[in-house]
A and B are shown apart, each in its own frame.
Chain A
C-alpha cells in the first residue's frame, strides 16, 4: 500500500509539530508520521511508570553507554518530549546564540528574529510563572541559595491554570497547541507508524518505507521530507537511509547527578517538579529539582540502600534535586545493521567529571543551608551528609563511575551551519549532499545550550520552517 504527500514530516515533537503546523497553514499538503501513540495531557500521571510505558521510548530505559553510562529519557508519542518533560521554558541565552552563529558560521541567524519567534511561542504556549506559591521542594532550593547569596530564579512554564492552585495547571504541550493547529489546517497525522528508511538516490529522497505496530509495511512518496525525530532517532534514520556524513557524531547532553534531601516538614508533591533553579554557576553548572514520586525516590536512594533506605518511609519529607553541567564531552549515535535501535555512546572529559563532583557538593551545601536534616547523594557507597564536615567526605569519595548519571536533554547530532568538518546540514537544516532532506529538531542545535532546550528547538524549527516556505513559494 502506498500514499503520497507534498511534505512528509517525521516526528511530532517540539520540532515536528510547529513545522507541520506552519507548512500546513501555508498551504502545503502535510503528512506527519509519528512512531508513538496519541496520549492526551492528563491521560497518564506525569513521571509515573504508566506514563513511561505509554509515552517514553523503551519504557524509559535508555542509556548512552560509556564509563560511566548515562541514562536518558526519550519520548515516543505524539507531541514528543513536550508531553513528558517538566514544562520549564528558557529562551536560548544570547551568548549561546552568538556562539552558534560565529563558531558554526550559521548564516541568517539573527538574535532579534530568534527572540521575536520566542515571543510568539511564549504567547502560543502561554508561558507564565506559577500562580500562588511554589511547592515546598521548590522553596527549599530557593531558600538555600538565598542563604548562600547564590543567584537563582523561578522558571516559567508553558501551562494554563484554571485557578491560583498550582495543581490546576494543564501543560500546553504539542498535542494541545501546534498539532491541533496542523490538523486544523489540513495536515494528516499517522501515529503508531515508524519510518524504517528513506529511499534516497542521487541526493534526492523520493519515498519512505514505513511499518506500523503490527509490522505491516507501507510506502509514502513525497516531494520534501523533514526529519524531526529528535537527537537520537533523526541521525539513526538518516544513517539507515545511507546518509552518514558527519551525522550522529557530536551528541551533546547535560549530564546530571542527583541527591535526595530530607526535611523536618512534608514538602513532596509527587507529580510535579520545582520551578526554581540556581544559576550562580551558569552556564557550567545549574541546580534544580527533579520529580520525586515514591518510586523515583526509591530509585534515587538505591545507590546506597543499606544506609539510605530507611528514609523511604518518610517519603513525604524527601525531595530529589539535580546538578546539571554543560559538557565538554560528546557522544555518538550509530545505527547498527540489522538492529532496530541505534547504539548510543557518550564520553565525559576530565573537566566534566571534576565539575560534576564539585557541582553535587555545592548542591548538597545549598540543601544543608535550606535546612535539610540529611542529604543522600546518589552514588555508590555515598555517606549521609548532615553538616559541612560531611561534604569533605562526600567530595573525597565521589566518582562519576559510582554515580547514577542521567540526562534529559539530547542535542547536536546533526548540527547545522557551515563549519568545516562539523556541520551536517546547511544553515537552515538541509542535509548536506541532499536536495530535499531536511532536519528540524534538537539535532540541529550545534551544542547543548546549557538551559532547558525546548525553547531553542522550537525557535530554530519555526525559523527554518518559515525560510522553507519563503524560498519554495507556496
Chain B
C-alpha cells in the first residue's frame, strides 16, 4: 500500500459519498484520516463555504462540465496528488445532464488529471453500466460485459470508457463500482424511502426474492481508499459492496425492524405489487427517457423487480477489502443519523 498523498482532490465532495469521504479523510482519529490538503470541488461559493468548515479542506469553485471549469482545481499542485472523482448525477432534471456531468465531466477530470501528472485517480462508477442479473442467484463477476441500464447506465459506461482512453494515454486510474448506497449523509430520496417502508407503502414488486447488492457508505469509503492506495495496475476495476446481496423482502424487513427499534411507529401492512408492474414501469421509463425527460419514481419502480447483485471476491483478494458493516447495523446507524439531524421519518 502506498502512503497517502500530499494533496487529495475530491469531486462530488458535497454528495452522499463525498461527505462521508471527507469526514473520514479529515478526522485524525479515523483509520483513513490523513494530513495534507483535501482540495474539494464545489459548484458554488456557498457550497464551498460549507465544505471549508472542515479542517484541512480547501474548497475550489468549479464545474466538471468544462475544461475551463477545472482549471483552478488542478492549479498549483505540489507533491504527490491523488484524485477521487465522485461527482455525478443519478436522478437528474433532464436526461442531457447524464452526458454533461457523468460522461463529459469524467472525461474532463481524467484529462485534467493526466495533464497535471497525478499519482492516481479513483473513479466512482456504478452497477448501472452492467444492467441487471438474469436471475436472482446470478452474480456480476469482477469483469462483465457492458449492458447499460438506460440513460444513467449509458453515461456511466461511457464515462468508464473515456477514463480508460486516458489510461491508455498514461493516466493511472482505477474504477470502483458501488451498488445502491445507504448510510449517514443520505439525501432526501432516502428519507422518503424510510418513510414509505415505515408506512408499508414501499412496494415489494413480485415475490420479493430478487436480490440487491447494497453498500454502506463507510464500507464504500474503505473501498475507495484501498483502491487509491493499492499497488494495482491502471485500468483495474472492483465491485465495492456489502458482503452479500440482500433479498428485497429482507431489506424491507430489516429497515422496518431498525425503525421500530429506534422507537418509531412501524405498520405491519406491506404493499405488494405483481412483477409485471416493475416491467411496465421499466418500459415507461425507457420511453420517458428517450424523450429527454426523467421521472425518478418511474425509474426507481422500474428497477424494483430486478436483481442487481455483485460478487466482491476480487476486491477482497486484491485490495484486502473487508466490509465492516452489514444491513442491520448500517440501517440502524442511518436512522440514528437522521434522527440526530432532526429529519422526520
Contacts of A396 in B (CB 8 A): 147-148
Contacts of A362 in B (CB 8 A): 144-145
Check B143 for interface membership: any CB of A closer than 8 A. yes
Q: Within the complex, which residue of A149, A351, A394 is in contact with B134, where a contact is CB–CB below 8 Å? A: A351
Minimal beta-carbon separation of A141 from chain B (angstroms): 16
Minimal beta-carbon separation of A179 from chain B (angstroms): 42
Q: A358–B140 Cα gap in the complex (Å)?
A: 10
Check B290 for interface membership: any CB of A closer than 8 A. no
Q: A284–B154 Cα gap in the complex (Å)?
A: 27
Contacts of B137 in A (CB 8 A): 284
* Cβ-closest chain A residue relative to B143: A148
Contact call B135/A395, Cβ cutoff below 8 A: no
Contact call B147/A358, Cβ cutoff below 8 A: yes
Q: Give the interface residue-count category, chain B.
A: 20 to 34
* Cβ-closest chain A residue relative to B148: A392
Minimal beta-carbon separation of A151 from chain B (angstroms): 10
Check B284 for interface membership: any CB of A closer than 8 A. no
Q: A359–B138 Cα gap in the complex (Å)?
A: 11
Minimal beta-carbon separation of A349 from chain B (angstroms): 10
Contacts of B116 in A (CB 8 A): none
Minimal beta-carbon separation of B88 from chain A (angstroms): 19
Contact call B145/A395, Cβ cutoff below 8 A: yes
Check A117 for interface membership: any CB of B closer than 8 A. no
Given A351-B135, A355-B134, A395-B131: A150 touches B147 (CB 8 Å cut-off): no
Contact call B135/A354, Cβ cutoff below 8 A: yes
* Cβ-closest chain B residue relative to A325: B134
Name B93-138 residues within 8 Å CB distance of A.
129, 131-135, 137-138
Contacts of B145 in A (CB 8 A): 358, 361-362, 364-365, 388, 391-392, 394-395
Q: Give the interface residue-count category, chain A.
A: 20 to 34
Contacts of A361 in B (CB 8 A): 145, 147
Contact call B134/A391, Cβ cutoff below 8 A: no
Check B142 for interface membership: any CB of A closer than 8 A. yes
Q: Within the complex, which residue of B138, B144, B314 is in contact with A365, where a contact is CB–CB below 8 Å? A: B144
Check A216 for interface membership: any CB of B closer than 8 A. no
Q: A391–B143 Cα gap in the complex (Å)?
A: 12
Contact call A281/B138, Cβ cutoff below 8 A: yes
**Per-position contact with A for B273-310: 1 when CB-CB < 8 Å, else 0?**
00000000000000000000000000000000000000
The majority secondary structure among interface residues of chain B is: loop
Contacts of A357 in B (CB 8 A): 134
Minimal beta-carbon separation of A373 from chain B (angstroms): 17
Name A378-401 residues within 8 Å CB distance of B.
388-389, 391-392, 394-396
Check B189 for interface membership: any CB of A closer than 8 A. no
Contacts of B45 in A (CB 8 A): none
* Cβ-closest chain B residue relative to A354: B134
Q: A150–B133 Cα gap in the complex (Å)?
A: 17
Contact call B144/A395, Cβ cutoff below 8 A: no
Q: A284–B147 Cα gap in the complex (Å)?
A: 19
**Per-position contact with B for A335-356: 1 when CB-CB < 8 Å, else 0?**
0000000000000000100110
Minimal beta-carbon separation of B122 from chain A (angstroms): 20
Contacts of A281 in B (CB 8 A): 138
Check B193 for interface membership: any CB of A closer than 8 A. no
Check A212 for interface membership: any CB of B closer than 8 A. no
Name A282-338 residues within 8 Å CB distance of B.
284
Count of A-B contacts judged by CB separation below 8 Å: 61
Minimal beta-carbon separation of B37 from chain A (angstroms): 36
Minimal beta-carbon separation of A371 from chain B (angstroms): 15
Q: A395–B154 Cα gap in the complex (Å)?
A: 13
Check A196 for interface membership: any CB of B closer than 8 A. no
Contacts of A139 in B (CB 8 A): none
Given A284-B135, A361-B147: A392 touches B157 (CB 8 Å cut-off): yes
Contact call A389/B161, Cβ cutoff below 8 A: yes
Minimal beta-carbon separation of B208 from chain A (angstroms): 16
Contact call B157/A150, Cβ cutoff below 8 A: no
* Cβ-closest chain A residue relative to B129: A392
Contacts of A354 in B (CB 8 A): 132, 134-135
Contacts of A351 in B (CB 8 A): 134-135
Given A148-B141, A150-B141, A280-B141: A392 touches B146 (CB 8 Å cut-off): yes
**Per-position contact with B for A143-157: 1 when CB-CB < 8 Å, else 0?**
000001110000000
Contact call A284/B138, Cβ cutoff below 8 A: yes
* Cβ-closest chain A residue relative to B313: A149
Q: A64–B146 Cα gap in the complex (Å)?
A: 32
Q: A354–B135 Cα gap in the complex (Å)?
A: 8
Contact call A355/B141, Cβ cutoff below 8 A: no
Q: A359–B134 Cα gap in the complex (Å)?
A: 9
Contacts of B161 in A (CB 8 A): 388-389
Name B149-171 residues within 8 Å CB distance of A.
154, 157, 161
Minimal beta-carbon separation of A383 from chain B (angstroms): 13
- Greatest chain A CB density within 10 A among B132, B133, B138, B146 is at B146
Given A150-B141, A280-B141, A392-B157: A355 touches B135 (CB 8 Å cut-off): yes
Contacts of B135 in A (CB 8 A): 284, 351, 354-355
Contacts of A355 in B (CB 8 A): 134-135, 138
- Greatest chain B CB density within 10 A among A354, A357, A358, A361 is at A358
* Cβ-closest chain B residue relative to A365: B145
Contact call A395/B147, Cβ cutoff below 8 A: yes
Name A442-464 residues within 8 Å CB distance of B.
none
Q: Within the complex, which residue of A280, A369, A388 is in contact with B146, where a contact is CB–CB below 8 Å? A: A388
Given A149-B314, A150-B141: A389 touches B146 (CB 8 Å cut-off): yes
Given A149-B314, A392-B157: A358 touches B146 (CB 8 Å cut-off): no
Contacts of B143 in A (CB 8 A): 148-149, 365, 369
* Cβ-closest chain B residue relative to A392: B146
Contact call A395/B146, Cβ cutoff below 8 A: yes
Q: A269–B305 Cα gap in the complex (Å)?
A: 45
Minimal beta-carbon separation of B282 from chain A (angstroms): 13
Q: A369–B141 Cα gap in the complex (Å)?
A: 15
Contacts of A358 in B (CB 8 A): 131, 133-134, 138, 145, 147
Contacts of B131 in A (CB 8 A): 358, 395
Minimal beta-carbon separation of A94 from chain B (angstroms): 18
Contact call B141/A392, Cβ cutoff below 8 A: no
Given A389-B161, A392-B157, A395-B131: A149 touches B142 (CB 8 Å cut-off): yes
Q: A391–B130 Cα gap in the complex (Å)?
A: 10
Q: Chain A: residues with CB nearer than 8 A to chain B?
A: 148-150, 280-281, 284, 351, 354-355, 357-359, 361-362, 364-365, 369, 388-389, 391-392, 394-396
Q: Chain B: residues with CB nearer than 8 A to chain A?
A: 129, 131-135, 137-138, 141-148, 154, 157, 161, 314
Supplied contacts A148-B141, A357-B134, A392-B129, 17 more A-B pairs, CB within 8 Å = A148-B143, A280-B141, A284-B137, A355-B135, A358-B131, A358-B145, A358-B147, A359-B134, A361-B147, A364-B145, A365-B143, A389-B146, A391-B145, A392-B146, A392-B154, A392-B157, A394-B145
The 9 A-B pairs at the shortest CB distance, nearest first, are namely A354-B134, A391-B145, A361-B145, A395-B147, A392-B146, A355-B134, A358-B134, A365-B145, A351-B135
A-B contact pairs, 13 of them (CB 8 A): A148-B141, A149-B314, A150-B141, A284-B138, A354-B135, A355-B138, A365-B143, A389-B157, A389-B161, A391-B147, A392-B129, A392-B147, A395-B131
